[in-house]
Amino acid sequence: MNSFLQIEGLTKSYGDRMLFADVTFGINEGDKIGIVAKNGTGKSTMLRIIAGEEAPDSGTVTARSGLRIGYLPQLPVYSPGTTVLDACLMADTPAAKAVGAYRKALASGDDMLIAEATHRMDEASAWNFEDRLTQLLAQLRINDTSQPMDHLSGGQRKRVALAATLLDEPSMLILDEPTNHLDLDVIEWLEAYLTKSRATLLMVTHDRYFLDRVCNRIIEIDRQELFSYDGNFEYYLRRREERYEAMAAELDRVRNTLRRETEWMRRQPQARAGKAKYRIDAYHDLRKRSMVNLSERKVNLDVDSSYIGSKIFEAEHISKSFGDKVILRDFSYVFARYEKLGIIGRNGAGKSTFIKMLMGLVDQDGGRWNVGETVRFGYYSQEGMEFDPDKRVIDAITDYAEEVSVNDGGARYSPMQWLKRFMFEPSEQQKYIRTLSGGERCRLQLATVLMRSPNFLILDEPTNDLDIMTLGILEEYLAEFKGCLIVISHDRFFLDSIVDHLFVLDGTGEVYDFPGNYTEWRAWEDERQRDTEASSKQSASEPVREKQRSEPERQKLTFKERREFESLEAELEDLNDEKSQLEALFNSGASSEEIASASVRYQAVMQALDEKEMRWLELSEKA
């Protein structure tokens, strides 16, 4: 197996804060590695060091001679005025450098410079660079290479950076949160690209579907120890659970031994001095090992929502445009209690604008929102809260209240206790906000949102920068959340876990309500596209025979009808079982009161059977 990179004894700290120490592992040709660790453990810093963008405190990164590495940072930064083409020519690749030099030489008009630049273009095989770049950008839906980067959205800037990284097809890719700020369809395109690519890969991502489908190796950093698993994310989860069970068994053994040794130490005060020193040393070592806390440091989201009444809120004929761009056109909807809604659509379709209008941060052009009296919103913004970077973490809570009262006054916490529930230990609460990692800032924002016990949560890209462990706990909380939820997310696993239906914004002002989660919508959308393509091919081929054209086209079940059809079969079975039980009761010699009550129910069951059987027959004609 060919070794691409060897990382030896990598250590990095900022001030008193140790990110990681003595990290050692190798990367072989063909590895597709995902790094998994909690927020604040220095994952992005480690990638920057391996990519050569930052120096470690100690340790080495040794690359194979001639290895070409493509690095995608989490937040690409560009100088004002940089165009899309300029950004792509900044890539540290022979072809990009050759094209940049050639363009400068042409602008100078110097024949000698032009001759040298032409030679570099030949050596780098860069004459088709701009054509290949245009094609790749088009796949990523960037069509104008002259656009200034500072006019683009975060998702568009990420796509340009991605194109610049992939274009030269480097032997190894180092990607830091590559799916952040991308549309769902672009994420799926990238997923397919990396799955087929022969490039060796090292990446950090919180997207669990992405990890599971792309990676063949997972590296976990836990308590400054490194664990490597040869398999995808699902395999890693199983093996990690086995590791935890083994650690728990070992801890039980250590604590049992410690109890015996503690008893000996107490009973033998005179004899201790004469005993072998190794036994006393071993006792102190046992004490240290027994104090390990195997339970993961977890966000504690045991917070109930406040009471929410029957009237939630209504959208009445909402319209919104920005110039010629229509965001919403005559949109009306009545939200129900406990509804969990996901919003999807391409970047620029108006997802964030939709919820900003609801929150009163952006004015609609027409229509109105009617909000119920008991609704208490909790808004998690994609842009994050405006924390003062020169304040400490605990100030983010004490600036709002000296005491946190949740569950309608049922539980009270000091600011220190509240922050501890969100994995901020007392020492970390004194850190300046400017020193927090992106994930730690997200946890702090989550703490400030939930401290008000909202009963209507609006979450705009809440999964960005959160570690996988915190995401799992957030999903569990939202699944049990006794209130309403609107969420925008590019995390497919997250959407599948918590939403019961989707608003699909098509970018023309229309909103389609889909009854299901993201995977169900994707299956329906793929099937619809296949039907459309098949219909197009048939219309483009030879004319269909007259007899075939005269036959009526058989209608297919819609996705919603298919789900109804499947549920009807189960409902009919239950109704027939209940019918049989009631008939058995009639023949059992039951009392007249029981017979009278059962007769009323029997009539209702028979009526329901008639209605559902008719509907089942109607749908079965189309199935």
CA distance 391 to 394: 8
CA distance 187 to 519: 14
Range of the domain at 609: 559-620
- Does residue 468 lie within any of the structural domains? yes
The residue count for the chain: 623
pLDDT at site 163: 92
Q: Name the one residue in this structure whose structure tokens are 């001030």.
A: 15
pLDDT at site 538: 65
Q: Looking at the predicted structure, is the pLDDT value of residue 8 above 90?
A: yes
Domain count within the chain: 4
Q: In terms of domains, do 229 and 270 share one?
A: no
pLDDT at site 202: 96
Residue 345 token pair: 């659509």
Q: In terms of domains, do 497 and 517 share one?
A: yes
Give the residue with greater pLDDT, 543 vs 169: 169
Q: Which of 258-272, 349-363, 369-383 has the lowest mean pLDDT?
A: 258-272
Give me the mean pLDDT over the 208-237 stretch: 89
Q: In terms of domains, do 440 and 392 share one?
A: yes
- Cα-based torsion angle of the residue sequence 241, 246, 252, 256 in order, rounded to the nearest 10 degrees: 180
Residue 124 token pair: 């780098």
Q: Name the one residue in this structure whose structure tokens are 């992405």.
A: 210
- Does residue 308 lie within any of the structural domains? no
| 183, 159 contact by CB (below 8 A) | no
Q: In terms of domains, do 511 and 573 share one?
A: no
Which parts of 423-517 fold into alpha helices (H)?
438-450, 468-480, 492-498
| 177, 106 contact by CB (below 8 A) | no
**Domain end (from 506, 522, 538):** 522
Q: Looking at the predicted structure, is the pLDDT value of residue 261 above 70?
A: no
Q: Looking at the predicted structure, is the pLDDT value of residue 35 above 90?
A: yes
CA distances from 31 to 5, 117, 213 (A): 11, 36, 13
First and final C-alpha spacing in the chain: 52
Q: Looking at the predicted structure, is the pLDDT value of residue 81 above 80?
A: yes
Q: What is the pTM of this model?
A: 0.68
Q: Which of 52-56, 282-286, 529-533 has the lowest mean pLDDT?
A: 282-286
Q: Name the one residue in this structure whose structure tokens are 């809440």.
A: 462
pLDDT tens column, 455-494: 899 999 888 878 887 888 888 888 888 888 999 998 999 9
Phi, psi angle pair for 67, to nearest 5°:
-65, 125
Q: Which helix (H) or strand (E) holds 314?
A: strand 313-322
CA distance 91 to 100: 10
For the beta carbon of residue 543, count every other beta carbon within 10 angstroms. Answer: 8
For the beta carbon of residue 612, count every other beta carbon within 10 angstroms. Answer: 16
Where does the pLDDT of residue 47 fall: very low under 50, low under 70, confident under 90, or very high at 90 and above? Answer: very high
Residue 97 token pair: 């450098």
Distance of CA 593 to the CA centre of its chain: 57
- Does residue 129 lie within any of the structural domains? yes
pLDDT at site 258: 63
Distance of CA 114 to the CA centre of its chain: 48
Q: Looking at the predicted structure, is the pLDDT value of residue 138 above 80?
A: yes
| 342, 520 contact by CB (below 8 A) | no
Strand partners, 72: 175
Q: In terms of domains, do 177 and 277 share one?
A: no
Q: In terms of domains, do 267 and 345 share one?
A: no
Q: In terms of domains, do 164 and 273 share one?
A: no
- Does residue 540 lie within any of the structural domains? no
pLDDT at site 162: 93
Q: In terms of domains, do 501 and 584 share one?
A: no
Give the residue with greater pLDDT, 325 vs 288: 325
Q: What is the 3 state secondary structure string of 370-400?
A: EECCCCCEEEECCCCCCCCCCCECCHHHHCC
pLDDT at site 551: 39
**Domain end (from 217, 236, 255):** 236
Q: Which helix (H) or strand (E) holds 4?
A: strand 3-14
- Does residue 536 lie within any of the structural domains? no
pLDDT at site 546: 40
- Does residue 614 lie within any of the structural domains? yes
| 41, 222 contact by CB (below 8 A) | no
Cα angle, residue 107 at apex, residues 104 and 108 outer, rounded to 5°: 90
Give the DSSP letter of residue 204: E
pLDDT at site 278: 56
Q: Which long-range contacts (CB under 8 A, 24 or more apart) does 187-190 make?
A: 187/490, 187/492, 189/139, 189/140, 190/162
CA distances from 235 to 213, 220, 232, 241, 428 (A): 11, 13, 5, 10, 33
Q: Which of 106-115, 190-199, 286-295, 504-513 has the lowest mean pLDDT?
A: 286-295
CA distance 276 to 278: 5
Q: Name the one residue in this structure whose structure tokens are 């027959």.
A: 617
Strand partners, 274: none
Q: Which of 48-57, 75-84, 468-477, 599-608 has the lowest mean pLDDT?
A: 599-608
Give me the mean pLDDT over the 26-42 stretch: 89
Where does the pLDDT of residue 10 fall: very low under 50, low under 70, confident under 90, or very high at 90 and above? Answer: very high
Q: What is the 3 state secondary structure string of 82-130?
A: CEHHHHHHCCCCHHHHHHHHHHHHHHHCCHHHHHHHHHHHHHCCCCCHH
Where does the pLDDT of residue 129 fall: very low under 50, low under 70, confident under 90, or very high at 90 and above? Answer: confident
Give me the mean pLDDT over the 301-312 stretch: 63
Sign of the dihedral defined by the CA atoms of residues 570, 576, 578, 584, in that order: negative
CA distance 455 to 483: 5
pLDDT at site 408: 55
pLDDT at site 581: 83
- Does residue 359 lie within any of the structural domains? yes
CA distance 439 to 465: 5
Dihedral-angle region of residue 141 (phi above 0 means left; psi in -120 to 50 means alpha; beta otherwise): left
Q: In terms of domains, do 451 and 494 share one?
A: yes
Rg, C-alpha atoms of the chain: 31
At residue 414, the 3 state secondary structure works out as coil
Q: What percent of the chain shows pLDDT beyond 70?
A: 84
- Nearest to residue 336, comparing CAs of 310, 369, 375, 305? 310
Q: Looking at the predicted structure, is the pLDDT value of residue 250 above 80?
A: no
CA distance 251 to 244: 10
Q: In terms of domains, do 320 and 354 share one?
A: yes
Where does the pLDDT of residue 213 fall: very low under 50, low under 70, confident under 90, or very high at 90 and above? Answer: very high
CA distance 423 to 293: 14
pLDDT tens column, 308-326: 666 788 889 999 998 888 9
Q: In terms of domains, do 342 and 487 share one?
A: yes
Q: In terms of domains, do 86 and 221 share one?
A: yes
pLDDT tens column, 510-561: 999 998 899 999 988 888 888 877 776 666 555 444 433 333 444 566 656 6
- Does residue 456 lie within any of the structural domains? yes
CA distance 122 to 116: 10
Q: Which helix (H) or strand (E) holds 281?
A: helix 277-290
Q: Name the one residue in this structure whose structure tokens are 């590791």.
A: 243
| 471, 494 contact by CB (below 8 A) | yes
Give the residue with greater pLDDT, 593 vs 303: 593
Q: Can you give the CATH number for the domain in which 472 is found?
A: 3.40.50.300
Q: What percent of the chain shows pLDDT beyond 90?
A: 23
| 45, 54 contact by CB (below 8 A) | yes
**Domain end (from 212, 236, 260):** 236
- Nearest to residue 86, comparing CAs of 152, 21, 33, 25? 152
